[in-house]
Structure 1
Amino acid sequence: MLNDDLTIRRASTSDGPALMALERAGWSWLSDVMPQRAEDALMFDERYGVEPFLVAELAGRVVGYIRQIPPTPLASNQHVRQIQGLRVSHDVRGRGVGQALVEAACLAARAQGARRITLRVLGHNLPARRLYERCGFQVEGVLPEEFLLDGAYVDDVLMGLRLDD
């Protein structure tokens, strides 16, 4: 699917505009629970620093990102990481970029000492759910009708993967 031109690397502050362009272009009620961010919004700010982001480049062009962080600041669950953001450019979807990003996030979480990685995905987002399942994630819970999006109630699906197997 992919050629050797795909690179997954840590984000840098200079990636901010390209990642925000991906964020805005990929926004949809299929995958997002928050309204679309403003055109002048910054990708990296006091809430979301650059450190948790991995970037996918294909032939030198930024085509995706993933963000994984500890789910809480509690010491008691620092062995867990959570994917809180994944975007792939529309023009390269279906070519393995998303899977490469998820696999890279899992490797990075292992390197940080994590035993598990979790995520939340909207129940109606079947492409994302299939991607996560291909990467070994399993459904661990469902919050029925957790969100009212664009006039419809949508389940919040909790998925997880053990990293120490």
Structure 2
Amino acid sequence: MPEPSAPRIRTAVLADDEALALVDRLTWSPLHAVMPEPQPPHGPFFGERQAPEDILVAELDERMVGYIRLAFPTELACNRHVRQIQGLAVLDDARGRGVGRALLRAAVEEARRLGARRITLRVLGHNTPARGLYESEGFVVEGVLPEEFLLDGKYVDDVFMGRPL
């Protein structure tokens, strides 16, 4: 049996809009999403808050299987040395193949390339798999907002994590 291929990571382009919107819909879960489940009709993925250059996509065998969004945490000039991961999604059938880790490492390298000194993210307290991945890549918990969200009838912590670059 042939070895599974490694994910290929690249910057998104406008033509990825439909595929990214599909990944977004297929990966929605109360495990990691605070926004309501997307309902049809589905709008475009790219918009005022996210442009193709903010997104790194992962492909396996030339099929898009995930993405990570890297953005500024605020619009303040005094905060421009920090980048924040504001979304990471991997299709179920691509899990366990190193896609999330490859996307995370690529985002760290991209933030470094852009001159950032720190990279941060927020993760729901009950999202144990994501927290484990982030910790294994050097992110540490820097703060917790207890019971910040009410999801599926349960109160969930919002965990702030970060690491230097």
TM-score, scaled to structure 2:
0.95
Which of residues 127, 130, 137 is equivalent to 2:129?
Answer: 127
2:70 — aligned with what?
68
- 2:134 maps to amino acid: Y
Q: Does 1:17 align with 2:1?
A: no
Which of residues 96, 105, 112 is equivalent to 2:98?
Answer: 96
Shift of 1:6: 2.0
**Is the CA contact 2:6–2:97 (under 8 Å) kept in the aligned structure 1?**
no
Equivalent position SS for 2:18: helix
Distance 2:51 2:13 in 1: 10
- 1:95 maps to amino acid: R
Shift of 1:134: 1.2
Shift of 1:37: 2.4
Distance 1:12 1:36 in 2: 25
Pairwise mapping of residues 150-165 of structure 1 onto structure 2 (< 5 A)? 150-163=152-165
Shift of 1:4: 4.3
Identity %: 60
Distance 2:155 2:70 in 1: 27
Distance 1:151 1:72 in 2: 30
Equivalent position SS for 1:51: helix
- 1:28 maps to amino acid: S
Q: Does 1:30 align with 2:31?
A: yes
Shift of 1:21: 0.8
Q: Does 1:52 align with 2:54?
A: yes
Equivalent position SS for 1:100: helix
Alignment size in residue pairs: 162
- 1:18 maps to amino acid: A
Equivalent position SS for 2:52: coil
TM-score, scaled to structure 1:
0.95
Shift of 1:34: 0.4
Which segments of 5 or more consecutive residues in structure 2 lack a partner in the other structure? Answer: none
- 2:77 maps to amino acid: A
- 1:49 maps to amino acid: A
Equivalent position SS for 1:139: strand
1:142 — aligned with what?
144
Shift of 1:36: 1.9
